[in-house]
A and B are shown apart, each in its own frame.
Chain A
Amino acid sequence: DARVTQTPRDKVTEMGQEVTMRCQPILGHNTVFWYRQTMMQGLELLAYFRNRAPLDDSGMPKDRFSAEMPDATLATLKIQPSEPRDSAVYFCASGLSTGGFEQFFGPGTRLTVL
């Protein structure tokens, strides 16, 4: 049963600390998306990659957020320094560009910045 995995599932940190979230896309998928979910804003697209190359990161606050794909099996989203307004659930999703637009979501990382 192929699934997107995300770690950690929960993260509590203090303002100013660095936070790194990790995602393992479904094996063989070549497109990875990072979303942020809050009650107020719903599902916001932060960044996405195809074949490990960033296609669009316009949804990310550039001064503190960064996203990378060190290899095809790992995507990372980093926040440095973190702020209380970054508290949200962060989802990773993966898909296959040649298979249409289906995206499959991971379980999310719940981030709380105190």
Chain B
Amino acid sequence: GENVEQHPSTLSVQEGDSAVIKCTYSDSASNYFPWYKQELGKGPQLIIDIRSNVGEKKDQRIAVTLNKTAKHFSLHITETQPEDSAVYFCAAAGSSNTGKLIFGQGTTLQVKP
């Protein structure tokens, strides 16, 4: 079945710096790759997603890139702010077209003021 690996598990950056989180997936038929942000005591919130027919997608300070050949995708956050501090999860939708997502293990991002 699908497996998603996420790195790093923790990331600390200074306010204003960029942060990059990387994920790899195993099922070459996966075609949907969302990123979720989870703040303390809350449920994961979808922040950006990308489909397999697109290589890059950007939304203000957040961007996601996808390399289907290498089977990896990345989240880029520019000009980080303290409110970006949270746990970030990547996920991949498997090839069964059921909508089932396989999640990475999460990255705890700390942005220091």
A43-B89, A91-B44, A108-B43 given; A103·B99 CB < 8 A: yes
Chain B stretch 95-113: residues in CB contact (< 8 A) with chain A:
98-106
Chain B stretch 43-73: residues in CB contact (< 8 A) with chain A:
43-46, 49, 51
Partner among B36, B42, B100 whose Cβ is within 8 Å of the Cβ of A48: B100
**How many of B's residues come within 8 Å of A, CB to CB?**
21
How many chain A residues sit at the interface, stated as a range, is: 20 to 34
Interface SS majority for chain B: strand
How many A-B residue pairs lie within 8 Å, measured between CB atoms? 53
CB distance from B95 to the nearest CB of A (A): 12
Q: A102 to B44, Cβ gap below 8 A?
A: no
Q: B43 to A43, Cβ gap below 8 A?
A: no
* B interface residues, Cβ below 8 angstroms from A: 32, 34, 36, 42-46, 49, 51, 89, 93, 98-106
* A interface residues, Cβ below 8 angstroms from B: 4, 31, 33, 42-43, 45, 48, 50, 55-56, 91, 93, 95, 97, 100-108
